Structure 1
Amino acid sequence: MGVNLPRLKDFKQRLFFLIVSLIMNSVGTALTISTNMGSAVWAASSVNLANWIGVPLGTTMFCYGVLVTIANQLFIGHFDRRRFISNLMFTVPFSYLVQYVTTFWDWIGVPRLNLAAHIILDVIGIAMISAAVSIYQRSNLIMHPNDDLSYILRFKFMHNSSVMGQWASYIPPVVVTVLAVIFTHQIYAVNFGTILALVAQGEMMKWSDTHVFPRLKHHVDIGVRV
């Protein structure tokens, strides 16, 4: 049987963009944590949960990812083996990359910069996260379960609205963050950047869909309500 060259070329392109987006997301997320000016909602929730239960951030993010992976299967309505495995495949490198890159940003002195630099770097971090999520949602090979959740909500329940899908996916991490603060009386990684992500990350993703590698189109693999 001959090789389907267009399909192989498409797969290689999607794989390349997946790797690019994984690195972008890890670097951007770690940057927002290191500045302490507010991380994206899921990352901020992970930091507070790690503090609450007293385990390393990477391990907390991994366990979080496993739970959301299971939730995604429930939202789909049937067991999707490919999606289940791909969610876990993304969770492992991402969780520990964030932990190690955060250590790197701390080591080179990001936390010691002035307020203006922190705000600028935090905005850059949120923008990198938004663009990265847009890229790997369009590639749709493997996805972080948190972002796959917004993807499922977007295409299955929210009439292809990236903004509504993103907001709906924020409910679990916001609840976890509130509980962590109640029980520990401390709050971490929630600041300017968290508000920015809550208000604008969906719009940033929407903009990225058409302006960041615009040739990369969505490869939708779930039912779409229109």
Structure 2
Amino acid sequence: MISKEKANSINGRILFLAISIIINSFFNALTVSTQMGSAIWTASAVSLSHWIHISLGNILFLEGVIVAFTNLALLGHFDWFRLLRNLLFITPFSYLLAGFERMFTALGVPQLAIGWRIILDIGGLFGVAAAVSLYQRANIIMHPNDDLPYILRFRFMHGSSVYSQWMSNVSPLIIVVLVFIIKGHWYSFGFGTIYNILTQGFLIGWSDQHFFPILHHHLEFKN
């Protein structure tokens, strides 16, 4: 069992970061393949991919770049190091997710009975929240989409994982609705997306306390 001191050392935090990237891309891809609704940011990327006919991996990357610059605006100063760290996260994550999604599709997940797909979707969304909790606490590099609620949480919302998560969901929700208006179809938006919007903040907070609780938050700025 890893000690608290080792878990919160730089090597321990890097280890948890690597684990979280794999967990996050794996479970995000699982939710997409169930076709029952994925996390809202992933749903927005899938929607944009179908709308403008650019690969999911490239859309995830481009969306991440835009959000990364938004985060710098919220911080009130241009932080090249933070931007670089955001880009270092989204590069492997975006293409791992796209690869895992192709794997799950090849394994026949979209053809499973609806009951199994709901179960896999809920499990996948829990895995996403647990992964977000890990790399938010490690705070070495972070996906811009999750850095956004992290900044909102500790800079503007007094540490609330719930309210910060809800606020960060506004932009991707607008994208999903806009694509629906234009295309007349929901892409990767459904039961799981609503479940994600309502519960991810709670699940991240729960994971902070119960999923490798020896790893603490390493903040870079004051509330």
Cα separation, 1, equivalents of 2:107 and 2:62? 29
Cross-structure match for 1:201: 200
Cross-structure match for 1:40: 39
TM-score, normalization by structure 2: 0.96
Q: Rate the CA distance shift 1:201–1:7 in 2: closer, same or farther, 3 A.
A: closer
Shift of 1:112: 1.2
Asked if residue 66 in structure 1 is aligned to residue 65 in structure 2, the reply is yes
Matches within 5 A, 1:60-99: 60-99=59-98
- Contiguous gaps of at least 5 residues in structure 1: 1-5
Cross-structure match for 2:191: 192
Shift of 1:7: 8.8
The residue type paired with residue 127 of structure 1 is F
Cα separation, 2, equivalents of 1:175 and 1:37? 19
Cα separation, 2, equivalents of 1:29 and 1:59? 16
> Is the contact between residue 152 and residue 222 of structure 1 (CA under 8 Å) also seen in structure 2?
no
Cα deviation 1:64-110 (Å, max 9, x = unaligned) = 00000000000000011221100000011111111000000011111
Q: Rate the CA distance shift 1:8–1:139 in 2: closer, same or farther, 3 A.
A: closer
Cα separation, 2, equivalents of 1:82 and 1:223? 18
RMSD of equivalent CA atoms: 1.3
Matches within 5 A, 1:2-151: 10-151=9-150
Q: Which runs of 4+ in 1 moved over 3 A?
A: 6-9
> Is the contact between residue 7 and residue 214 of structure 2 (CA under 8 Å) also seen in structure 1?
no
Cross-structure match for 1:3: none
- Contiguous gaps of at least 5 residues in structure 2: none
Asked if residue 211 in structure 1 is aligned to residue 218 in structure 2, the reply is no
The residue type paired with residue 69 of structure 1 is A
Cα deviation 1:8-61 (Å, max 9, x = unaligned) = 970000000000000000001000000001001100111001111110000001
TM-score, normalization by structure 1: 0.95
